[in-house]
Amino acid sequence: MPTLTHYLTLSAVMFSIGLFGALTRRNAISILMCIEIMLNAVNINLAAFSRYLSDPLTGRYLSAWFGDVAAPWQGGPLGQVFVVFTITVAAAEASVALAIVLAIYRSRKTIQIDDINLMKW
Amino acid sequence: MNAQAIQHNLPLFSFYALAAAITACCLAVAFSRNIVHCAIFLAGAFFCVAGVFILLDAEFLAAIQVIVYVGAVAILILFAVMLSEKVEGARDRRHQTSQRVPALAGAAALGAAAVSVVRSHPWNAVSEEAYWNDMAGGSVENLGMLLLQPYALPFEIASVLLLAAMVGAIVIARRLKEDDRS
Task: For residue range B101-153, list pLDDT tens digits in order.
Answer: 899 999 999 999 999 999 998 887 777 777 777 776 677 888 888 888 888 89
Question: pTM of this prediction?
Answer: 0.87
CB atoms within 10 A of CB A28: 20
Q: Which of A4, A29, A89 sits opposite B84 (nearest CB)?
A: A29
Q: Which of A37, A53, A103 sits opposite B123 (nearest CB)?
A: A53
Chain B residues touching A78 at Cβ < 8 A: 146
Q: What is the pLDDT of residue A59?
A: 64
CA-to-CA dists, residue B116 to A8, A87, B154, angstroms: 11, 28, 34
Provide the shortest C-alpha distance from residue B18 to chain A (in Å): 10
Task: Identify whether the C-beta of residue A46 lies closer than 8 Å to the C-beta of residue A57.
Answer: no
B34: pLDDT strictly greater than 80: yes
CA-to-CA dists, residue B85 to A22, A83, A86, B3, B78, angstroms: 19, 33, 29, 52, 11
Q: What is the pLDDT of residue A62?
A: 62
pLDDT > 70 fraction of chain B, expressed in percent and rounded: 87
Q: Does the structure's ipTM exceed the value 0.90?
A: no
Which is it for the CA torsion B113, B116, B118, B124, positive or negative? negative
Phi, psi of A53 (to 5 degrees): -90, 140
B97: pLDDT strictly greater than 70: no
**Mean pLDDT across the stretch B88-93?**
52
Q: What is the pLDDT of residue A8?
A: 94
Q: Which of A73, A92, A96 sits opposite B149 (nearest CB)?
A: A73
Chain B residues touching A114 at Cβ < 8 A: 97
Per-residue pLDDT tens digits for A29-81: 999 999 999 999 999 999 998 888 876 666 667 654 444 444 444 557 888 89
- B46, B96, B107: which is closest to B71 by C-alpha? B46
CA dihedral A106, B67, A85, B174 (to 10 degrees): 20
Provide the shortest C-alpha distance from residue B178 to chain A (in Å): 15
Provide the shortest C-alpha distance from residue A76 to chain B (in Å): 7
